[in-house]
Amino acid sequence: MTKNKKIDLKSLFLISALSLAIICGFSLTGFSGLSVTPLFLDFTMDSGSSHSGELTLQNTGTEPLEVVSQVRGFRTSEKGVAQFLSKSAAKEYPFSGEKLLKIKPGKVILGSGETKEIYLRGSLP
Protein backbone atom coordinates (compact mmCIF):
# COMPACT_ATOMS: atom_id res chain seq x y z
CA MET A 1 0.00 0.00 0.00
CA THR A 2 1.44 3.41 -0.92
CA LYS A 3 1.32 6.39 1.37
CA ASN A 4 -1.33 8.22 -0.70
CA LYS A 5 -3.87 5.41 -0.70
CA LYS A 6 -6.68 5.41 1.80
CA ILE A 7 -6.78 2.68 4.42
CA ASP A 8 -8.77 -0.33 3.22
CA LEU A 9 -11.87 -1.73 4.92
CA LYS A 10 -9.96 -4.59 6.57
CA SER A 11 -7.53 -2.12 8.18
CA LEU A 12 -10.43 0.09 9.29
CA PHE A 13 -12.01 -2.95 10.93
CA LEU A 14 -8.70 -3.65 12.63
CA ILE A 15 -8.55 -0.16 14.17
CA SER A 16 -12.22 -0.35 15.20
CA ALA A 17 -11.76 -3.80 16.74
CA LEU A 18 -8.69 -2.64 18.65
CA SER A 19 -10.69 0.29 19.99
CA LEU A 20 -13.40 -2.09 21.07
CA ALA A 21 -10.78 -4.29 22.72
CA ILE A 22 -9.89 -1.37 24.96
CA ILE A 23 -13.44 -1.21 26.24
CA CYS A 24 -13.56 -4.99 26.67
CA GLY A 25 -10.36 -4.84 28.71
CA PHE A 26 -11.82 -2.68 31.47
CA SER A 27 -11.96 -4.24 34.89
CA LEU A 28 -15.52 -5.35 35.55
CA THR A 29 -15.33 -4.63 39.28
CA GLY A 30 -18.17 -2.21 39.94
CA PHE A 31 -18.95 -1.99 36.21
CA SER A 32 -22.50 -0.87 36.92
CA GLY A 33 -21.07 2.42 38.22
CA LEU A 34 -18.84 3.12 35.19
CA SER A 35 -19.78 5.38 32.30
CA VAL A 36 -17.57 5.26 29.18
CA THR A 37 -18.05 7.75 26.33
CA PRO A 38 -17.89 7.43 23.44
CA LEU A 39 -18.55 3.70 23.23
CA PHE A 40 -17.30 3.51 19.65
CA LEU A 41 -14.52 5.36 17.84
CA ASP A 42 -14.58 5.28 14.04
CA PHE A 43 -12.02 7.02 11.87
CA THR A 44 -10.34 6.58 8.51
CA MET A 45 -6.59 7.00 8.20
CA ASP A 46 -4.12 7.21 5.35
CA SER A 47 -1.13 4.92 5.33
CA GLY A 48 1.68 6.56 7.32
CA SER A 49 -0.68 8.73 9.37
CA SER A 50 -1.77 8.89 13.00
CA HIS A 51 -5.01 9.74 14.74
CA SER A 52 -5.65 10.57 18.39
CA GLY A 53 -8.79 10.29 20.45
CA GLU A 54 -9.96 9.96 24.00
CA LEU A 55 -12.41 8.04 26.10
CA THR A 56 -14.04 9.72 29.07
CA LEU A 57 -14.54 7.54 32.13
CA GLN A 58 -16.89 8.50 34.95
CA ASN A 59 -17.54 6.66 38.18
CA THR A 60 -21.30 7.00 38.66
CA GLY A 61 -21.28 4.73 41.71
CA THR A 62 -20.52 5.34 45.35
CA GLU A 63 -17.38 3.16 45.63
CA PRO A 64 -13.93 3.86 44.14
CA LEU A 65 -13.20 2.01 40.88
CA GLU A 66 -9.92 0.80 39.43
CA VAL A 67 -10.12 0.79 35.64
CA VAL A 68 -7.46 -1.16 33.76
CA SER A 69 -7.36 -0.79 29.97
CA GLN A 70 -5.20 -2.58 27.45
CA VAL A 71 -4.80 -3.01 23.74
CA ARG A 72 -5.21 -6.62 22.64
CA GLY A 73 -4.11 -7.96 19.29
CA PHE A 74 -6.40 -10.29 17.42
CA ARG A 75 -6.71 -12.61 14.48
CA THR A 76 -9.85 -13.65 12.69
CA SER A 77 -11.20 -17.16 12.55
CA GLU A 78 -12.10 -18.84 9.26
CA LYS A 79 -15.64 -17.52 9.83
CA GLY A 80 -14.37 -13.93 10.24
CA VAL A 81 -14.84 -13.75 14.03
CA ALA A 82 -12.21 -11.75 15.95
CA GLN A 83 -10.24 -13.87 18.41
CA PHE A 84 -8.36 -11.72 20.91
CA LEU A 85 -4.81 -12.88 21.61
CA SER A 86 -2.69 -13.06 24.74
CA LYS A 87 0.42 -10.85 24.79
CA SER A 88 2.66 -13.82 23.92
CA ALA A 89 0.39 -15.00 21.09
CA ALA A 90 0.22 -11.47 19.64
CA LYS A 91 4.03 -11.32 19.55
CA GLU A 92 4.10 -14.54 17.53
CA TYR A 93 1.45 -13.31 15.07
CA PRO A 94 2.85 -10.29 13.16
CA PHE A 95 -0.57 -9.16 11.86
CA SER A 96 -2.33 -8.88 15.25
CA GLY A 97 -2.44 -5.08 15.01
CA GLU A 98 -1.49 -4.70 18.65
CA LYS A 99 1.35 -2.27 17.84
CA LEU A 100 -0.95 0.08 15.90
CA LEU A 101 -2.75 1.52 18.93
CA LYS A 102 -1.33 3.02 22.12
CA ILE A 103 -3.32 3.92 25.22
CA LYS A 104 -2.42 6.09 28.24
CA PRO A 105 -2.78 5.70 31.10
CA GLY A 106 -3.28 1.94 31.33
CA LYS A 107 -4.73 2.17 34.83
CA VAL A 108 -6.80 4.83 36.59
CA ILE A 109 -8.54 4.95 39.93
CA LEU A 110 -11.82 6.85 39.97
CA GLY A 111 -13.33 8.11 43.18
CA SER A 112 -17.10 8.35 43.50
CA GLY A 113 -18.39 10.83 40.90
CA GLU A 114 -14.89 11.39 39.46
CA THR A 115 -14.21 11.72 35.72
CA LYS A 116 -10.92 11.05 33.90
CA GLU A 117 -9.80 10.65 30.30
CA ILE A 118 -7.90 7.85 28.63
CA TYR A 119 -5.95 8.92 25.54
CA LEU A 120 -5.62 6.79 22.41
CA ARG A 121 -3.25 7.10 19.47
CA GLY A 122 -3.52 4.96 16.37
CA SER A 123 -0.63 4.95 13.88
CA LEU A 124 -0.43 3.19 10.54
CA PRO A 125 2.90 2.28 8.94
Q: Which residues contact 104 (CB under 8 A, 6 or more apart)?
A: 118, 119
Query: Residues 89-116: pLDDT tens digits?
Result: 888 888 888 888 888 998 999 999 999 9
Query: Residues 40-74: pLDDT tens digits?
Result: 877 788 888 998 889 899 999 888 989 888 888 88
Neighbouring C-beta atoms of residue 79, cutoff 10 Å:
5
CA 5: distance to chain centroid?
Answer: 24
- Fold classification of 9-123 is Immunoglobulin-like (2.60.40)
Q: Which residues contact 103 (CB under 8 A, 6 or more apart)?
A: 22, 69, 70, 71, 118, 119, 120, 121
Q: How far apart, in whole angstroms, are the C-alpha atoms of residue 118 and residue 25? A: 13
